[in-house]
Structure 1
Amino acid sequence: MSTQAQVKIGFEVSFREPQAHYAEVEMSVSGLARNYVDIKMPVWTPGSYLVREFSKSVEDFAASAGGKKLRVEKVRKNAWRIYNGSAKAVRISYRVYAFELSVRTPFIDADHAFLSPTGIFMHPDGMISAPSTVKVIPFKTWSAVSTGLEPVAGQQFTYRAPNFDILYDSPIQVGNQEVFSFTAAGVKHEVAMVGEGNYDKARLQQDMPKVIEQATAIYGENPNKYYLFIVHNVERGGGGLEHLNSTTLEVSRNTYGTQAGYEGFLDLVAHEYHHLWNVKRLRPVALGPFDYDNENYTTNLWVAEGFTSYYENKIMLRAGFLTPEKFVTKLAGAIGTVVNTPGARVQSAAASSYDAWIIGYRPNENSRNNSISYYSKGEVVGMLMDLEIIRATKGAKSLDDVMKTMYWQVKKQGKGYTDAEFKACVEQIAGTSFTAFWNKYVTGTDEIEYAKYFGYAGIDAVDDNKGKTQATTGATAEVGRAFTIASVNRNSAAWDDGLNVNDIVLSVDGRDVADILSNVRLQSPRINLDILAPIAAKKVGDQVNLRILRAGLERQITLTLKASPVVRVKAGINPNANEPQKAVLKKWMGL
C-alpha cells in the first residue's frame, strides 16, 4: 500500500527510573494521511495463549506535533486516538511499568531490562506491515544490548524491523549480560547470560551445538543467519518462549551444577530451538498473520507444542544426552502423566488446543478433572503417530518425514496449514488412513494403547501397579499455617463424599493434624492425604473420619476409601525382539 510505504516509524527506549521498574518510550510517526491516527498495543504475545492486557501497565500517554500538544482520546482498552489535524508527523511518549519476570512479559529493575516487545511497543492501526527502527539507550550503569533484530550500521544500539510482526517477535535484553557465541549448523549463535549462574561456558559451547545440529538435520535446513539465546538465571523458575530467530529461557541459577539439572537445561534448549521450524514457520493457519487485539484460536497446539515436547526427547537422544533406555523411560513417564489425569477422559487434544485461552493458562482447582494439557497429550500423540507411521511403512518413513514435508509445503505456499492438510500429509507419508487414529487420540478421548504402540518397537510396557490394591482418598493438601485441601480427583472418595478444595482439615480419625504432621517428613508443601498415618494403614472400603473447617464452620466428613486408579507405566527394550521390531526401533530412535 503506497500510503503505508510513506509512513516512517521510530522508537527510542530509555530508563530514567529502572529501580522503580519503568521504561520511557518515545515513538515518532511521519507520513500520516488522515487527521487522526489510532496507536495500539497488543493484548497478548504469540507463543503464550492468554490475553494479558499489556496496556494496563502504560502511563502518561501523550502526543505532540511541531512542539504542540495534541488531543488524545482512549478509544478502547489498548488503543489511543491522536487527533493530529493537518500535521503529517507526530511524536508520542509513554511510560511502561514492567515488574513481572517471565519469558513472556517485560521486566525492569536496577540490574537489567528485559523488553518483551508486545508489552513495550505499539503500532499505528492498520500498519502492522510498516517498518520501524528501535534505538535503545541503556541506563548509565549498563553496557550491553542483545536482540535478534538487525542492527542499523553506524548507529549504536539501534535496530531495524521490517514489520511489526518481526518487532513483536524480537525480545531485547539490556544490561550487563555475559555474551558468548558458537557456530552450529552453519549459523552464528549467541548466548546472553543474564544474572549469576553456575554454568560452564566452555561446556555449553560444546554441547549446545550438538542439540542444534540434530534439530536442523530433521528439516534439512536452518532458516537463520543468526540466532540468540537470552537466558535468565533466576532464584527459582523455568520455561521458555520461542521467537523467529531467538528464544528467551528462564532457569534456576544453580541448575547447571547437577547432571539432571544440566540435562534439563539442554532439554529446554532442544524444545525452544525446535520451535524454529514447528510453530514459527511450520505453523497452524490461525497463527499468522496475527490479530494482536484478540484471541487467535487453533485446534493444533497439540502439534505445535505437544510434538515439540516429543521432539525435544528425540533430539536429546540423537545428540547423545539420553540413552535409548532413558528415552523410553521418559516417554513412559509422559504416558503416565496423561493416563493419570482425569481430564484426559473429558477433553481431547484438539479441544485442549482451542481452549488454551480460557483453561490452559488459567487453571483452577478443577482443571485436572476437566482438561488435559496439549503439551502432555500432544507429546504422547506424537509418539504414537511416529511409531504407527514407522510400522506402516516397514521402517521406511517416520514422523520426521511428515514434519519435514509439512515444513517445506508451508514454506512454499506461504501460509499455515489446516487440520485437514496435516492429516493428509500423515496419511500420504504412512500410505494408510489415519481417520481412526484421529478419532481416538486427536478429537477423541480414548485410553492410550501404550503397550500396543511400544510393542511395534520391541518395547515391553506394562502397568506396574496392575494387580496392586492401594486405598486412596484422591485428595491432596497444602501444608502451611493450616492443612488445606488443594485438589480433589474426579470420582475419588473425596469427590464422592464431599470433601472440598479449601476445606481445612483439623483432625483425622480424632487425631489432631498438627500431631500427625509432626511425624511426617515433608518433601514439599503439597502432600497426598494418603501418607497420613491414620489413612496409610487402611484398606479399600475402610472409612476415615475428618473434622474440617469450611467457611469458618466446623463439620464432620466421612470418606469411604476407594482403590487407587493410578497407572505406573514401566517400559523396557526387549533384547529378544524380532527383526521387524528391531527395524522399527532403529528408525524410531534414528541412531
Structure 2
Amino acid sequence: MSSMVVADVDYTINLLNPEHHLANVEVSFPQTKSAALVVNLPVWRTGKYQVLPLADSVRLFTAKDADGRTLPWTRTASGEWTVALEKPTSVTVSYQLYANKLGQRVNHIDASHAFLDASGTFVYSPEFKHEPIKVTLAVPSDWNSYSGMDKGEHKHSFTASNYDILVDSPIETGISQHREFTADDKQYELVVWGEGNYDIDKMVEDLTKLSGQAEVIWDDYPFDRYVYMVHATSGARGATEHLNSTIIQRPRFSYRDAKDYLGFIKTASHEFIHTWNVKAYRPEGLVPYDYQHEGITELLWISEGSTSYFQSQLLLRAGVMTAEEFFEDLAKRIEQSGKTPGREIQSVASASANQWVSTGGDYAANHSTNIYSEGFLTSLALDFSLLDETDLAHSYRDVHRELYKSHRIPAGFTVADVKNILHKVSGTSYDNWWQEHVNTPVTLDFDRLLKQAGLVVGYGDDAKSEPYVGITLANDSLVLSRVLRNAPAWNAGIVLGDEIVAINGLKVTAAGFEARIKDFKAGDTINVTLFSNDKLKEVSLTLGEQKSGKQTISSVEKPSRAQKAFLKAWIGIDWPFEKDGKLIAK
C-alpha cells in the first residue's frame, strides 16, 4: 500500500440518516486567488458512454469562504456552479445529495448501505482536480466501508492523489459480507451487499482462479489490491469497471442455477479484464477523461468488444468454464449476429464513434452495430488472422500485451498505433484488413473462419425448418417491439408498434401466436389483421424459413493435427472432442 497523502481537498459525506436516500456532502477547497471558483459534477460516468443528468441529484447548494460567510453563486451549466470571490480565500461547498440511482451504478443510499460513485456524488473544481484528496464518511456504527482507494485515518476514510482516482474508485459502505484472498501475489477483496442464493465461498474460489489468469495476456499488474464489489439485489443488473475495483449487480436469486452463475462469473471476468483494457490503456479520444464532455473514438470496439472476447477465454483456461459452455457462448453470439441486420449497415468503427448517442432498440438492431457483440466477432476474426499469418506464433493477446506495455495512461492509443502493433506482431500490413473488417460493415464467413480450428457451426440433430415472420412481441402482448429489416413482416409493411389482431380472419393471442404460425409452412401466404397507429389494416405476408433450436459449434468430421494445434494456440486447451465429434465430458 502506498503511503498516505496529505489532503488538499477534503470531502465529508454524512450518511447517518440514510433511510430516504439522502446525504449531506461538504467539500473544502484550498485557497484560490481566482475571481471565481468553478465547481463541477460530471455529466457522464466512466464505463457508460452516455451523457446523464447526474447533477439532478444535487439540492441546497451553498458556498462559504474561510470565515464562514455565504458566497454568491450561479448555475452556469448542467453540471457546473460558479462561485463569485471578492478576495483570495478557501471555499467550502455543501449540498444535499439524493442518491437513488442503483441500477445506473452512480449512487444509492438506503438503511442498509451506500454505494458512492464519485461521478454522481462528489463535485470537483478544475482548478484543484489534480490535488490530493481525503474522503471521510459519517456512517451508522454497524457499517463497514470498502474502496479501491488507500485507507485514510480510520476505517471510514480514504485518500487519493487526485480526482481522477477518486472518480474511478467507488465506495461501498454498509452491512455486507467481506472476504479477502490472494492470487499471483496480489491482494483481493470480495464485498457482497444484499441477501440472495449466492455461495460466497464458491465466488471466492472461482474469482481466485480467474484473477490468476492475467498472465495469459499481460506481463504484470496495474494494481497491488483489487476489490470485487457485488450487489445481490432486485431490479438492477449490470457492471462497471474501475481503476482497481468493479461493481457487479445481479438479481439476488440468480446465483444457484449453473447458467445464472456462469453469467455472474463471466461479468466478473469482463470487468477484471477492463482493469488493463480501458483503465490501464485506452483510445486517445478518452485520454484524459473530460467529465463535462463526450470523448469520441473509433476504437471503443477494442475497449468493449475485445474485453468481451477475452472474458470466456480466461475462464476456460482457469477451469471455471467448460469447453461446452465456451462453445455454447460463441455459437449464441454468432447466431445473434445473424439476426441483427444492422451489421450490414454500420461498421464497428462507426458504431464506436456513435456510441454516445446510441439508444438501442429496434432502430439499433436494424441499422446499427453493437460495439460489444460485433466488436467481439471482429476480435475473433483478427485473432484468427494473426494466428494464421504467424503460423500460430502470435495472437491477438500479443496486441493487447503491447498496448499495455507501450501505450499506458496518460498516453492514449490511435488507429495508427494499433496498425503498427499488428505489423510488428505479424510482419504484415493490416491496412487492407482494417478497411475491410473495421471501417466497412462486414458479415463474417464463420464456416471458413472456424474451420481453421477444426470447428463447424450448425444445429442439433433435432433441428428442423420452421416458418419465420421476423418480429418480437412486447411484454406478453401482440404489440410489436421489433420488426427485423428485410424479414417477411418488414417486407409486408408491418412496422414497430403495430398490434396484431388476427391471422386469416381468426383472432390470435400473444400466448398462442407462435403456435399459430407453426400451423403454416415456409412459403405460405397469410393475411394479418392489425392496428397500425390505431387504424385497422390488413396485410398479406409470405412466411420465410428458419431453423428451429439454437446454433451449435462442433468438430469437423476428421480434424487434422494442424486444426487441433490452431485451437490450442487460440484458447489454450487440448482438443476437447471425442472421435465421434462430441465434447469430452469433464
Verify same fold: TM over 0.5: yes
Corresponding residue of 2:229: 230
> Structure 1-normalised TM-score?
0.91
For residues 196 and 325 of structure 1, the distance between their equivalents in structure 2, rounded to whole angstroms, comes to 31
User: Deviation at 1:115?
Assistant: 0.6
What secondary structure does 1:277 align onto? coil
What is the percentage of aligned positions where both structures have the same residue? 30
Partner amino acid, structure 2, of 1:378: G
Corresponding residue of 1:526: none
1:368 aligns with 2:365: yes
For residues 420 and 495 of structure 1, the distance between their equivalents in structure 2, rounded to whole angstroms, comes to 40
Residues 267/364 of structure 1: CA separation in 2 closer, same or farther (3 Å cut): closer
Corresponding residue of 1:524: none
What secondary structure does 1:549 align onto? strand
1:105 and 1:116 in contact (8 A); partners too: yes
Instruction: Tell me the matched-pair count.
Output: 567
1:478 aligns with 2:478: no
Residues 485/461 of structure 1: CA separation in 2 closer, same or farther (3 Å cut): closer
User: Deviation at 1:512?
Assistant: 1.9
For residues 142 and 85 of structure 2, the distance between their equivalents in structure 1, rounded to whole angstroms, comes to 36
Corresponding residue of 2:294: 295
Corresponding residue of 1:405: 402
User: Deviation at 1:58?
Assistant: 1.0
Q: CA RMSD in A?
A: 2.3
1:434 aligns with 2:430: yes
Corresponding residue of 1:584: 566
2:460 and 2:552 in contact (8 A); partners too: yes
1:100 aligns with 2:101: yes
Q: Deviations over 1:261-309 (max 9, x none)?
A: 2222221111110111111112111222111111111111111111111
Corresponding residue of 1:75: 76
User: Deviation at 1:507?
Assistant: 2.1
User: Deviation at 1:141?
Assistant: 5.7
- Please give the residue correspondences for 1:308-457 in structure 2 after superposition, counting only pairs within 5 Å: 308-359=307-358, 362-411=359-408, 414-457=410-453
> Structure 2-normalised TM-score?
0.92
1:103 and 1:248 in contact (8 A); partners too: no
Corresponding residue of 2:506: 511
For residues 565 and 352 of structure 1, the distance between their equivalents in structure 2, rounded to whole angstroms, comes to 29
Q: Deviations over 1:305-348 (max 9, x none)?
A: 11111101110110012333442332222122222210010111
1:185 and 1:222 in contact (8 A); partners too: no
For residues 496 and 449 of structure 1, the distance between their equivalents in structure 2, rounded to whole angstroms, comes to 26
Residues 104/354 of structure 1: CA separation in 2 closer, same or farther (3 Å cut): farther
Q: Deviations over 1:109-158 (max 9, x none)?
A: 222111111001111134321222111111x3641111111112x33412
Corresponding residue of 1:44: 44
What secondary structure does 1:476 align onto? strand
Partner amino acid, structure 2, of 1:93: S
Residues 503/193 of structure 1: CA separation in 2 closer, same or farther (3 Å cut): same
Corresponding residue of 1:571: 553
User: Deviation at 1:575?
Assistant: 6.9
Corresponding residue of 1:178: 177
Q: Which runs of 5+ in 1 are unaligned?
A: 521-528
For residues 578 and 436 of structure 1, the distance between their equivalents in structure 2, rounded to whole angstroms, comes to 30
For residues 128 and 469 of structure 1, the distance between their equivalents in structure 2, rounded to whole angstroms, comes to 61
What secondary structure does 2:479 align onto? strand
Partner amino acid, structure 2, of 1:509: N
User: Deviation at 1:223?
Assistant: 1.8
Q: Deviations over 1:89-121 (max 9, x none)?
A: 111111121212125321112221111110011
What secondary structure does 1:451 align onto? helix
Partner amino acid, structure 1, of 2:23: A
- Please give the residue correspondences for 1:10-21 in structure 2 after superposition, counting only pairs within 5 Å: 10-15=10-15, 17-21=17-21
Residues 479/201 of structure 1: CA separation in 2 closer, same or farther (3 Å cut): closer
What secondary structure does 2:196 align onto? coil
1:338 and 1:372 in contact (8 A); partners too: no
Partner amino acid, structure 2, of 1:148: G
What secondary structure does 2:217 align onto? helix
Partner amino acid, structure 1, of 2:129: I
Residues 238/157 of structure 1: CA separation in 2 closer, same or farther (3 Å cut): same
User: Deviation at 1:437?
Assistant: 2.3
Q: Deviations over 1:540-579 (max 9, x none)?
A: 4433223323333333333232344999653213473222
Q: Deviations over 1:4-30 (max 9, x none)?
A: x99931110012542221121011112
Residues 470/117 of structure 1: CA separation in 2 closer, same or farther (3 Å cut): same
What secondary structure does 1:447 align onto? coil
User: Deviation at 1:228?
Assistant: 0.7
Q: Deviations over 1:478-510 (max 9, x none)?
A: 244x52111111012221222222222222222
Q: Deviations over 1:405-430 (max 9, x none)?
A: 1210113x840110111122122212
Corresponding residue of 1:259: 258
Q: Deviations over 1:191-218 (max 9, x none)?
A: 1100012222222222211101112442
Corresponding residue of 2:136: 135
Partner amino acid, structure 1, of 2:484: N
Instruction: Pick the aligned partner of 1:460 from 456, 460, 464.
Output: 456
User: Deviation at 1:80?
Assistant: 0.6
- Please give the residue correspondences for 1:84-99 in structure 2 after superposition, counting only pairs within 5 Å: 84-99=85-100
User: Deviation at 1:469?
Assistant: 5.4
User: Deviation at 1:453?
Assistant: 1.7
For residues 143 and 468 of structure 1, the distance between their equivalents in structure 2, rounded to whole angstroms, comes to 57
2:232 and 2:250 in contact (8 A); partners too: yes
Partner amino acid, structure 1, of 2:496: V
For residues 274 and 234 of structure 1, the distance between their equivalents in structure 2, rounded to whole angstroms, comes to 24
1:394 and 1:580 in contact (8 A); partners too: no
For residues 234 and 165 of structure 2, the distance between their equivalents in structure 1, rounded to whole angstroms, comes to 31
Corresponding residue of 2:54: 54
For residues 455 and 349 of structure 2, the distance between their equivalents in structure 1, rounded to whole angstroms, comes to 28
What secondary structure does 1:365 align onto? helix
Residues 236/496 of structure 1: CA separation in 2 closer, same or farther (3 Å cut): same
